[in-house]
Every structure is written in structure tokens, then in C-alpha cells.
């Protein structure tokens, strides 16, 4: 088990990284990487484990962000209660939307989630009294333990450790999932739904469970994002973000844990490196997605497996 | 998200105290039918590709965007008049459909359905962002001699351009219907829609069916763009607006059903116009989505079509 | 219905529009019994099977399993009650390894969820051990333990059919429904299958078998029911059924003509 050595090493490295440099911009990029990792890992539950494509995931990120911002401003709940509320809110929306959409599977499901995402985006833009419309909400207070006053998280380093903790916790939960009865039901449903049903698995409920967990986690990521950047606009729910999240999961490697984290890293790094190129970088992302889908359906992670000559046990959706 | 309404006819404000003003109502409905015809043209291509090839083309809206921009550039750079520019643009985008099929769809036809959906998402992003790069992000107007002249019928007022949208749309749909029903290629397309393997065994050239279907679908989308261009601002991200409208119509009418696209598109146009006129603009934007949710709760396969269920 | 009856079908009818595929069939299956349902192609066997297995609701009639009315019940609830099935066309989790295929089948008798696996508590550890045991036992039973780490799609056709049986028995059902398990098998594989089915029964699982391979049915079944044009025309010991003049006429006769 090389993982026994490898994994603690990676975690130790991740903990030490902020001390290599005092460059706060670098810390900022690390926070973004971790936030996107959390989001990509949550979307991976839908794409990689229950085997459905969701084109509406950014909306749940947005719901979490707006929930945290609004309850933070109106009730002074900027701490852990706000994060929990964001998770509950996003998960609740996930439940309702999943309950309606998961009756349909395949590409139609993808379109439905796109439609729901667009509804939420549109409402956020037009419900000015609640969301301040396209201008967004600014001056969101930093994350405290229990809200205003007391210890508040400021500076990128603090947020980095918080998001790192969330990523490690959720990655571990995903790892545990795959070795559990629930996880086996996820994978069975993804691979062959009629056979899964014949073994006693309630396919609809299992998919709904995965969808709700994924959306709730996206909500937490959104809440942290809102407190960290202190500004949010409806654009966090736009199609660009939907596409970005899908690119991270697919390019990194769906159905794996390392894949989405690597995908998020590639996204953040390329976004930085190609900043000078303007709109062209999005063309490059699109090309990356297309090339990955066509030539490397297992994502970057499968490439590594191929190189190390390890026998491939594809966890990705069967092609 | 406001594309398609920017230069619409005046929208009378609601007047709840008075009895319903039938002129205003009729005007709303007329506007709605014209917008609806655009939706129909967009959705028909989408539903055709799904019905015949079982592909959901996420990039479909980008061909609408290209249709509008090509019309603009054909007029600006080649000095063509509006009608010629629209025809050139439609044909050029239809030809691009051949290329898109050869690169993004045909090679993936045996892959998992998600592969093709994702590759079409990649194509959509490529075209949107490539469009922004080439055409610039600032909005443009397509000039048309019909945009500022009006047609009056009783007290109804509609611009010539909007009449043109409706008439051309109706004629094209009729022609498409005849083509699919009676031509040899149309029969091959219907055979492929029902059973691709069986069709291939009986000598249908599947490759040709793919090409023709994409040419038709992209041409229809481009035509919609060329027609709508003069009534609204165009910008490179308009494709995602178009594909979203297309998806709503197609879900409403049922994926793969052309009559469904016709009825779904016209109804969506009228409902949006009424909601926008009598309730609020924001509501008009969201109502399409609200309707599909209700329809899907009631009939998950859409009003006319079928969808797989869990 | 007496205590020994595990499955009881009464007046079962299934019509598709004007076509009645299954017509007023009564059938009882006793605990520990192997019951074969045979009939010529198109006789309604598959429809009969699918209605019992919960794939489609019947037009009329009832199905009772272990005394519970489960007419028209969804397949997954049926499975949780203790009835699992195999499919006519090979149905596996092709991208997963053989052992993972079988482990996925233990769903119905396991309980611990995601939270336990995160906490790695005792209940989870015990259950994972039980899952592993059940999976290996099932693989050993069908003689596939040596292929445990191979991908299911890499197996030969015969191995895949055996893996399907391993999946069905790893679920530890009370009643196993087999849908044409011998389809596409050569005589040698058929013999092996007969031995395997007897072995499954010996572990206490009752079996309902739909099949048109006569040799398999006659070799393994305690009792045989014959369906023709959707109606049951005979029900009894294999030796009696083969001598039933009706059966000879509609089934064996037609087969002889076809052959």
C-alpha cells in the first residue's frame, strides 16, 4: 500500500505550503483551488458515482453563497450556523429539484438540471429586494465562529486551512462511501440500474441521496466563498461556472477522488497562466474538455494509471 | 438574457382597473407568436437532431449566434443587401454543420451518450468564446430594410421584419415537413430515427443521414439568427440564450417531435409575451422554466414525446 | 395457502392492448422446490416471469410471496422481501471487477450506511467482513473465485452467466427466479448449470425457472408447469408432464416440427 506513505506526505505538504511563501496572492490561489476542489468533488458524486450529468451544479453553489451572505447581513449569523444553513438550504433545493428531475435519466436529466439552474439564476437576477439583483451583494462580513464578534477568519491563509480541512473531510467521506453499502448501491445504480433494482436497491432514492449530498456540499463551498471574497454576484451561477465545474471533473477524472482535485488545480493554474490571453483562455478550456472527452475519457488520473502500468480497474462510467 | 426583446414593439402597461383591452391583448399575442416562431425555428433543429440521431446538441444555439453574425458580416464586409446576406449566412452555417458533424458528432456515435453531450458542450464553449474573440464582445445590430417599416392590420402594429420572421418560418417548416415526408432522404432519416441498426442493414447510408440532419439543423438555427438579428442586439453569448429557449420548447413539446416543437414554441412565445405584458419582465423570463417543471411533473415525457424514466 | 407455500399466483392475467400474453394462470411454489415453467417460444413465459418479478404490473390476478400480497410491487421492494432474479440477456456490472459485482449484491441483507463507513465503527467492520464472506462464498459456488479480480466484461460468455448466478445468490434470497439461464449454453455447460441449480436449492433457496431447454428443465425440476398461448395447460412431475398428450401436442409436437 503505497497510499499509506503517499497520502500523509501529500497532506503534510498541503499543510506546509502556505509557509513556503508570504505572497498572499499565492495563498489566494490556494484558497480558490481548495474551493473548486470541494465543488468538483461534490459534482463528482453526481457525475462519477450516481452516473448522471448535472448542468445545474453552480446554482447550488450560488444558493449557498447567497444564503450565507443574506443571513450573515440580516441576522449576524456569519459563523458555523451560517455554513450549516447554507448547506441545508442548498440541500433542500437539491432535494426538490432532484425529486422532480431524477425521474428522468440520461441527457434529458442534464437538460432539466440546466433549466432549473437557469431558473435560479434568473430569479437571483430579478429578485432585487432579496438579492440586490445583478449588482450582487458586497461587504459580506468575514467568517467567524458563531457570527459577529469574537474570532473572525481574515486573510487567505486562514481560509486556506479551513477549505483544506473541508476538502480532506469530504474526500475522506467519498473514500469511505466507496467502501460502504450506500456507495456500492451508487455504483451499482450507475453501472446497471435494472440489475441494481433486482438486488433490492431503490434506484430513485439512491440517486436522490447522492444528489442532495452533492448539492449540500456545494452550498457549503458557496458559503465559504461568499465570506472569503466578501462579494457575490449572480454570475457565480452562470453557465461559465457550470461548464468550469464539469471541465474540472471530466478533465481530472470522474469517479475518482484525486481526479476532481487535480482538475480544479489545472483550472486554477491555467486561468492564472493564461490571464493575458483574455477570452482565448476559455477557448483553450473548451478545447481541453473536448480533447479529454474524446481522447482521455478517464481524465488525467487514468493517464497516471496508464503510465505506472497499474492494472486499470475503471471506476468511470462505462463507455 | 434579454435578447429578443430589445427592439420589440411597445409593451403597453397593464391596466387592471379597466376591462381587458382587447387591442392590447391581440398585440401581445401577435408579438408572442412572432417570438414563438423564432423559438420554433431554433427548437426544430434541436429536436430533429435528437429525433433522428438521438444526440442532444448543446452547441445548437451557437449556430443561431453564427447565423446572426454571419448575416451582419456578409452585409458589412461583402456589401450584400439584407436578404442576400441572410441567405449566404444560412448556407455558410449549414456548411459548418457538416464540419461540426465530422469533427464532433460522427466520430463519437458509438460512445456513451454522455461523451457526445460533453463534446457538444465543448463545441458550444469553443464557438461562444471563439466568437467573442473574433467578433468582439460588444453588441451589434443587423441592418434590415424591413426593421423600421411597419405593417398595420386594423389597430395591430407589427414591423415588416417581424412579419417576415413569421412568414419565412412558416414556409420553411412546411418545406421541411414535405422533405421529411416525401423525399428519399427524409424516408432514410425516419428509418434511422426508428432503428439505426435496422436502417443501416437495409441500405440506409447512415453517414449521409448524419450529414443531412446536421446541415438542416444548423441551417434552421442560422436562419432563425439571420431573421431575428435585425430585431435585437446580437452578441457572442446569445447562443446559450437560444439553446435554453430551444430546450424549454423541446421539453415542452417532447424531444424528437417536430409538431411538438411547433406547438411548444408558439405557446412559449405567447405565454412569455402575456406574462411580460401583464405581470413582469422578470417573470416572463422565468415562466418558461416554470412551465416545463409543471409539464414534466404531469407528463414526464413532454406533451408529445417520450423520455426514458428510472 | 399453506405454510409450505412460498409463492402463490392466482388468476394472473397480462394483456397488452388486445393481446393477452398471460391468461388466468394459477401457480404455487413450495419452499425448497424447483419449479420449471416451460412453453414454446411466444407462449407468454417471459411476460409471466416479468409480472412476477415486478418488472410490469399484471392486468388482473394476484401474486403472494411469503404470505405478503406483492401484486404489481416494484422490483426493488420485491427483492428486499427476498425474491431476486436473473435476466434473459446477460446483465452484469461490466466495468466492475468480478468480486465487486458480487459485493454489490449484498445490499438487501446489509444495514450499515455511509455514516458508519466514515466512522469505521464495529458494525461497519463486521458487516464488511460479512459482505466479503458472502461474496467469496458465492464466487466459490459458481467456481469463479479464481477470477475475482478480473473485470466482468473480460469474462467468457459461460463465466458471465455463472457470475450472474453468483450475483443472484450473494443476495441470499428465499426465492430465486431464473430467466432462461441455459440460453446460449452448450450441453456441457448445461449439465454444469443443472448441478449448480440443485446446489442452490440445497442451501435452502426455492427456485422458479423459466426455460425452454427441455433437458435442463427435465433434469433439474421437481415440478414443471407448461404454458401455451398464455394459459397453463399442465402442472406436475416432469415424468408425468412429458407424457401429457396436450403437452406433446402443443409443445413437443411443435418443437419436433420446428426441428
Same domain, C254 and C177: yes
CB contact under 8 A, B132 and A279: yes
Is there a contact between B4 and B231 (Cβ–Cβ < 8 Å)?
Answer: yes
- Which residues of chain A from 183 to 202 reach within 8 Å of chain C, CB to CB? 183-185, 187-188, 191-192, 194-202
CB-based burial, B50-77: b 16+ in 10 Å, e otherwise: bbbbbbbbbbbbbbbbbbbbbbbbbbee
Contacts of B121 in chain A (CB under 8 A): 243, 246, 289
Q: Is A164 on the interface with B (CB under 8 A)?
A: no
Range from A21-30, A145-154, B40-49 carrying the lowest mean pLDDT = A145-154
Segments of C140-229 assigned E as strands: 175-179, 206-210, 223-228
Nearest chain A residue to B248, by CA? A115
pLDDT surpasses 90 at C258 = no
Q: How confident is the model at residue B3 (pLDDT cuts 50, 70, 90)?
A: very low
Task: Extract the C-alpha cell encoding B114.
Answer: 454522455
Q: Is A130 helix (H, G, I), strand (E, B) or coil?
A: helix
CB contact under 8 A, A279 and B137: yes
- From CA A195, how far away is CA B46, in angstroms rounded? 33
Contacts of C167 in chain A (CB under 8 A): 195, 199
pLDDT surpasses 90 at B304 = no
Same domain, C178 and C190: yes
Tell me which residue in A173, A176, A199 faces C171 most closely, judged by beta carbons: A199
Tell me which residue in A53, A106, A118 faces B308 most closely, judged by beta carbons: A106
Tell me how many residue pairs between chain A and chain B have CB atoms under 8 A apart: 134
Tens-place pLDDT, residues A181-191? 999 999 999 99
Calculated CA dihedral for residues A249, A255, A256, A258, nearest 10 degrees = 10
Residue C25: which CATH number? 3.40.50.300
- From CA A278, how far away is CA A271, in angstroms rounded? 10
CB contact under 8 A, C75 and A198: yes
Higher pLDDT pick, A266 / A317: A266
pLDDT surpasses 80 at B238 = yes
What is the dihedral sign for C-alpha C245, C250, C253, C259?
negative
Touching chains C and A? (3+ Cβ pairs < 8 A): yes
CB contact under 8 A, B112 and A318: yes
CB contact under 8 A, B108 and A239: no
Contacts of A188 in chain C (CB under 8 A): 93, 104, 107
Same domain, C179 and C51: yes
Contacts of B289 in chain A (CB under 8 A): 115-116, 118-119, 122
Domain that residue C97 falls in: 93-172
Nearest chain A residue to B115, by CA? A293
Tell me which residue in B56, B104, B310 faces A193 most closely, judged by beta carbons: B310
Work out the minimum CA distance from B160 to partner chain A, whole angstroms.
Answer: 31
- From CA C99, how far away is CA C148, in angstroms rounded? 5
Q: Is A279 on the interface with B (CB under 8 A)?
A: yes
Consecutive H or E run containing B240 = helix B238-253
Subunits in contact with chain B (3 or more CB pairs closer than 8 Å): A
What are the boundaries of each domain within chain A? Answer: 29-237
Task: Extract the C-alpha cell encoding C73.
Answer: 410491487
Q: How confident is the model at residue C253 (pLDDT cuts 50, 70, 90)?
A: low
Tell me which residue in B122, B285, B292 faces A126 most closely, judged by beta carbons: B285
Same domain, C189 and C215: yes
For A6, A319, C113, the CA distances from A304, given in Å and listed in that order, are: 15, 19, 32
Q: Is A310 on the interface with C (CB under 8 A)?
A: no
- From CA B282, how far away is CA B287, in angstroms rounded? 9
| Interface-testing mutation among A239, A254, A276, with chain B (most B C-beta atoms within 10 A) | A239
Work out the minimum CA distance from C257 to partner chain A, whole angstroms.
Answer: 37
Count how many domains chain C has.
2
Nearest to A223 by CA among A47, A26, A38: A38
- At which of C118, C140, C172 does a domain end? C172
Work out the minimum CA distance from B279 to partner chain A, whole angstroms.
Answer: 13
Subunits in contact with chain C (3 or more CB pairs closer than 8 Å): A
DSSP for residue B41: H
Identify the contact set of chain C against chain A, taking CB-CB distances under 8 A.
Answer: 53, 74-77, 79-80, 84-85, 87, 91-97, 100, 103-108, 110-114, 116-118, 120, 124, 127-128, 131, 151, 167, 171
Range from A69-83, B106-120, B233-247, B279-293 carrying the lowest mean pLDDT = B279-293
Q: How confident is the model at residue A204 (pLDDT cuts 50, 70, 90)?
A: very high
Q: How confident is the model at residue A151 (pLDDT cuts 50, 70, 90)?
A: low
Beta strands C60-65; C68-69: pairing state: antiparallel
pLDDT of amino acid A317: 38
Tell me which residue in A103, A115, A283 faces B133 most closely, judged by beta carbons: A283
pLDDT surpasses 70 at A247 = yes
Tell me how many residue pairs between chain A and chain C have CB atoms under 8 A apart: 107
Touching chains C and B? (3+ Cβ pairs < 8 A): no
Subunits in contact with chain A (3 or more CB pairs closer than 8 Å): B, C
Average pLDDT, chain B: 82
- From CA C230, how far away is CA C24, in angstroms rounded? 8
- From CA A236, how far away is CA A222, in angstroms rounded? 9
pLDDT surpasses 50 at B135 = yes
Higher pLDDT pick, A260 / C54: A260
Is there a contact between A54 and A210 (Cβ–Cβ < 8 Å)?
Answer: no
- From CA A103, how far away is CA A112, in angstroms rounded? 11
pLDDT surpasses 50 at A27 = yes
CB contact under 8 A, A289 and B121: yes
Q: How confident is the model at residue A225 (pLDDT cuts 50, 70, 90)?
A: very high
Contacts of B113 in chain A (CB under 8 A): 106-107
pTM for the whole structure: 0.86
- From CA B240, how far away is CA B228, in angstroms rounded? 15
Nearest to B220 by CA among B178, B182, B175, B172: B172
Nearest to B262 by CA among B111, B42, B30: B42
- % of chain B residues with pLDDT over 70: 88
Residue C12 lies in a domain: no
| Interface-testing mutation among A186, A199, A312, A313, with chain C (most C C-beta atoms within 10 A) | A199
pLDDT of amino acid A148: 54
CB contact under 8 A, B123 and A286: yes
Task: Extract the C-alpha cell encoding C39.
Answer: 412453453
Q: Is A173 on the interface with C (CB under 8 A)?
A: yes
Tens-place pLDDT, residues B37-78? 999 999 999 989 988 888 888 899 999 999 999 999 988 888
pLDDT of amino acid B308: 45
For residue A24, what are the contacts with CB-CB under 8 A and spacing of at least 6? A155, A156, A157
Average pLDDT, chain A: 85
Q: How confident is the model at residue A26 (pLDDT cuts 50, 70, 90)?
A: confident
ipTM reported for the complex, 2 dp: 0.88
Q: How confident is the model at residue B7 (pLDDT cuts 50, 70, 90)?
A: very low
What are the boundaries of each domain within chain B? Answer: 41-237
CB contact under 8 A, B251 and A115: yes
Q: What is the mean pLDDT of residues C98-102?
A: 93
pLDDT surpasses 50 at A249 = yes
Q: Is A118 on the interface with B (CB under 8 A)?
A: yes
Q: How confident is the model at residue A48 (pLDDT cuts 50, 70, 90)?
A: very high
Nearest to A232 by CA among A63, A117, A88: A63
pLDDT of amino acid B8: 41
CB contact under 8 A, C76 and A173: no
CB contact under 8 A, A199 and C107: yes
Q: Is A296 on the interface with B (CB under 8 A)?
A: no
CB atoms within 10 A of CB A7: 14
CB contact under 8 A, C114 and A317: no
CA atoms within 13 A on the CB side of A36: 29
Q: Is A293 on the interface with B (CB under 8 A)?
A: yes
Contacts of A185 in chain C (CB under 8 A): 104, 107
DSSP for residue B152: E
pLDDT of amino acid B11: 44
What is the dihedral sign for C-alpha A149, A151, A156, A159?
negative
pLDDT of amino acid B31: 86
- From CA A188, how far away is CA C106, in angstroms rounded? 11
pLDDT of amino acid A2: 62
- At which of C172, C204, C238 does a domain end? C172
pLDDT surpasses 60 at A315 = no
Nearest chain A residue to B296, by CA? A100
Nearest to C66 by CA among C47, C85, C79, C75: C79
Amino acid at each position: 500500500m503505497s497510499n499509506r506513505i503517499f497520502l500523509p506526505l501529500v497532506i503534510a505538504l498541503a499543510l506546509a505550503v502556505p509557509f513556503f511563501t508570504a505572497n498572499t496572492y499565492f495563498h489566494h490561489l490556494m484558497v480558490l483551488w481548495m474551493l473548486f476542489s470541494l465543488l468538483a468533488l461534490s459534482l463528482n458524486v453526481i457525475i462519477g458515482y450516481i452516473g448522471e450529468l448535472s448542468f445545474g451544479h453552480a446554482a447550488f453553489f450560488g444558493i449557498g453563497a447567497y444564503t450565507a451572505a443574506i443571513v450573515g447581513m440580516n441576522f449576524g449569523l456569519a459563523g458555523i450556523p451560517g455554513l450549516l444553513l447554507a448547506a441545508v438550504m442548498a440541500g433542500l433545493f437539491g432535494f426538490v429539484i432532484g425529486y422532480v428531475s431524477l425521474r428522468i435519466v440520461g441527457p434529458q436529466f442534464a437538460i432539466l438540471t440546466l433549466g432549473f439552474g437557469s431558473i435560479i439564476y434568473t430569479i437571483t437576477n430579478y429578485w432585487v429586494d432579496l438579492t440586490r439583483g445583478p449588482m450582487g451583494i458586497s461587504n459580506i462580513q468575514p467568517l467567524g465562529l458563531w457570527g459577529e464578534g469574537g474570532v473572525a477568519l481574515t486573510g487567505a491563509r486562514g481560509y486556506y486551512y479551513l477549505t483544506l480541512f473541508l476538502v480532506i473531510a469530504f474526500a475522506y467521506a467519498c473514500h469511505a462511501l466507496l467502501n460502504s453499502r450506500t456507495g456500492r448501491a451508487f455504483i451499482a445504480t450507475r453501472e446497471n440500474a435494472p440489475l441494481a433494482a433486482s438486488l433490492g436497491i431503490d434506484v430513485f432514492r439512491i440517486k436522490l441521496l447522492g444528489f442532495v449530498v452533492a448539492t449540500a456540499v456545494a452550498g457549503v463551498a458557496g458559503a465559504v466563498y461568499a465570506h472569503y471574497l466578501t462579494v457575490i454576484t449572480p454570475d457565480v451561477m452562470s453557465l461559465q461556472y457550470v461548464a468550469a465545474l464539469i471541465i474540472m471533473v471530466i478533465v481530472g477524472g470522474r469517479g475518482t477522488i484525486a481526479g476532481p482535485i487535480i482538475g480544479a488545480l489545472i483550472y486554477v493554474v491555467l486561468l492564472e497562466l493564461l490571464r493575458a490571453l483574455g477570452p482565448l483562455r476559455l477557448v483553450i478550456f473548451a478545447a481541453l474538455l473536448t480533447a479529454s472527452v474524446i481522447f482521455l475519457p478517464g481524465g488525467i488520473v487514468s493517464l497516471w494509471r496508464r503510465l505506472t502500468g497499474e492494472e486499470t480497474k475503471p471506476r468511470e462510467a462505462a463507455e | 438574457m434579454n435578447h429578443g426583446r430589445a427592439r420589440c414593439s411597445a409593451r403597453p402597461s397593464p391596466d387592471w382597473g379597466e376591462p381587458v383591452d382587447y387591442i392590447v391583448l391581440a398585440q401581445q399575442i401577435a408579438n408572442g407568436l412572432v417570438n414563438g416562431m423564432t423559438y420554433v425555428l431554433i427548437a426544430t433543429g434541436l429536436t430533429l437532431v435528437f429525433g433522428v440521431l438521438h444526440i442532444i446538441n448543446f452547441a445548437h444555439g451557437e449556430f443561431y449566434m453564427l447565423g446572426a453574425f454571419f448575416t451582419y458580416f456578409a452585409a458589412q464586409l461583402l456589401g450584400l443587401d439584407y436578404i442576400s446576406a441572410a441567405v449566404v449566412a444560412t448556407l455558410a452555417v449549414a456548411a459548418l454543420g457538416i464540419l461540426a458533424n465530422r469533427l464532433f458528432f460522427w466520430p463519437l456515435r458509438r460512445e456513451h451518450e454522455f461523451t457526445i453531450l460533453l463534446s457538444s458542450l465543448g463545441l458550444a464553449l469553443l464557438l461562444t468564446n471563439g466568437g467573442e474573440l473574433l467578433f468582439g464582445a460588444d453588441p451589434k445590430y443587423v441592418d434590415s430594410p424591413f426593421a423600421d417599416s411597419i405593417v398595420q392590420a386594423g389597430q395591430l402594429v407589427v414591423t415588416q421584419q417581424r412579419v417576415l420572421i413569421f412568414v419565412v418560418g412558416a414556409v420553411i417548416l412546411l418545406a421541411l415537413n414535405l422533405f421529411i415526408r416525401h423525399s428519399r432522404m427524409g424516408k432514410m432519416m425516419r428509418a434511422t430515427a426508428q432503428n439505426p441498426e435496422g436502417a443501416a442493414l437495409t441500405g440506409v447510408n447512415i453517414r449521409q443521414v448524419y450529414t443531412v440532419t446536421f446541415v438542416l439543423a444548423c441551417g434552421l438555427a442560422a436562419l432563425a439568427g439571420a431573421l431575428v438579428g435585425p430585431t435585437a442586439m446580437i452578441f457572442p453569448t446569445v447562443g446559450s440564450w437560444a439553446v435554453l429557449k430551444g430546450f424549454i420548447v423541446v421539453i415542452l413539446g417532447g424531444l424528437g417531435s417536430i409538431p411538438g416543437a411547433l406547438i411548444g414554441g408558439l405557446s412559449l412565445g405567447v405565454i412569455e409575451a402575456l406574462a411580460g405584458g401583464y405581470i413582469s419582465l422578470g417573470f416572463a423570463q422565468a415562466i418558461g422554466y416554470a412551465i416545463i417543471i409543471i409539464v414534466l411533473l404531469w407528463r414526464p415525457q413532454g406533451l408529445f414525446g417520450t423520455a426514458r424514466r428510472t | 395457502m399453506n405454510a409450505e407455500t412460498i409463492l402463490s399466483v392466482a388468476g394472473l392475467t397480462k394483456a397488452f392492448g388486445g393481446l393477452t400474453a398471460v391468461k388466468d394462470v394459477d401457480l404455487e411454489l413450495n419452499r425448497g422446490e424447483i419449479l420449471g415453467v416451460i412453453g414454446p417460444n411466444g407462449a407468454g413465459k417471459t411476460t409471466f416471469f416479468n409480472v412476477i418479478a415486478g418488472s410490469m404490473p399484471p392486468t388482473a390476478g394476484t401474486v403472494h410471496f411469503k404470505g405478503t400480497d406483492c401484486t404489481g410491487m416494484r422490483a426493488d421492494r420485491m427483492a428486499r422481501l427476498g425474491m431476486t432474479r436473473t435476466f434473459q440477456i446477460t446483465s452484469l456490472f461490466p466495468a466492475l471487477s468480478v468480486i465487486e459485482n458480487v459485493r454489490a449484491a449484498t445490499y438487501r441483507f446489509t444495514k450499515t450506511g455511509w455514516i458508519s463507513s466514515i466512522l469505521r465503527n464495529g458494525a461497519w467492520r463486521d458487516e464488511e467482513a460479512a459482505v466479503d464472506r458472502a461474496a467469496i462464498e458465492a464466487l466459490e459456488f459458481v467456481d469463479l473465485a479464481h477470477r475475482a479480480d478480473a473485470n466482468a466484461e473480460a469474462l467468457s460468455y459461460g463465466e458471465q452467466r455463472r457470475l450472474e448466478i453468483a450475483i443472484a445468490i450473494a443476495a441470499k434470497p428465499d426465492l430465486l427466479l431464473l430467466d432462461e439461464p441455459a440460453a446460449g449454453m452448450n450441453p456441457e455447460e448445461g449439465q454444469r448449470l443443472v448441478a449448480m441449480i440443485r446446489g442452490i436449492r440445497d442451501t435452502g433457496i426455492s427456485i422458479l425457472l423459466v426455460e425452454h431447454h427441455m433437458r435442463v428443465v427435465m433434469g433439474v425440476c421437481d415440478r414443471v408447469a407448461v404454458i401455451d398461448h398464455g394459459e397453463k395447460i399442465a402442472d406436475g412431475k416432469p415424468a408425468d408432464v412429458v407424457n401429457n398428450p396436450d403437452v406433446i401436442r402443443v409443445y413437443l409436437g411443435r418443437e419436433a416440427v420446428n426441428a
